[in-house]
Chains A and B, each alone.
Chain A
């Protein structure tokens, strides 16, 4: 079956620090990969996505590259802000599986001023 594993949090950083959240996956078929973010009290928002190997998704200073050889989609940001404090979810969908999303467990990130 399909599964997503991401690093457990919480991850606590100082403002302007470098953030990496690891995400690896297993999938039957060729997955599309996503990062969703959940700010306190809000729903899930798509942060970025990549649909084929070596694609790089980017948004709001965040980046993730689809690495098929290592089955990974690690999220990075070079300089975090307090406003980046949230829970980050890695997810995949496979066309043959009807487009449903399979999520990782989420990583809580706390950025301190």
Chain B
């Protein structure tokens, strides 16, 4: 069964450093998402992406964050200058359809980001 994959599984970085989290969505999916879960808190929506541009972003997704689909398979989340409060589990998800039509989102296993 096709699945969403994410690398690395765990990333440790120093405050102020740039990190790139990588995701490979399911191959025929067109909508991509990033969510995060700070330890002990809810899973929160960060951003959705379709047709090579951001569809929607949350208040959390400020100028320090960016997303990119550099090729036909990868979908990346970049944090330019990490802060301690960016420590969280980051989940990538994809869906076949989306936007104004409801569809199931399939999640990757997550990348645990630890900022020291």
Interface residues of A (CB under 8 A from B): 32, 34, 36, 42-46, 49, 51, 89, 91, 93, 95-106
Q: Which residues of A contact B48 (CB under 8 A)?
A: 98-100
Q: Flag if B33 contacts A100 (CB, 8 Å).
A: yes
A103 touches B43 (CB 8 A): yes
Task: Let me know if B101 and A99 touch, CB within 8 A.
Answer: yes
Q: Are B43 and A98 touching (Cβ within 8 A)? A: no
Contact count A vs B, C-beta below 8 Å? 65
A32 to B104, CA, bound (A): 10
Which of these, B58, B91, B106, B110, contacts A46 with CB under 8 Å? B106
Question: Of the candidates B44, B100, B109, B110, which one forms a contact with A98 in the assembled complex, judged by CB atoms under 8 Å apart?
Answer: B100
- Complex: chain A residue closest to B44, CB-CB: A103
Excluding A98-B98, A101-B33, 14 further A-B contacts by CB distance (< 8 Å) are A36-B107, A42-B109, A43-B91, A43-B108, A43-B109, A43-B110, A46-B106, A91-B43, A100-B48, A100-B56, A101-B35, A101-B93, A101-B105, A105-B41
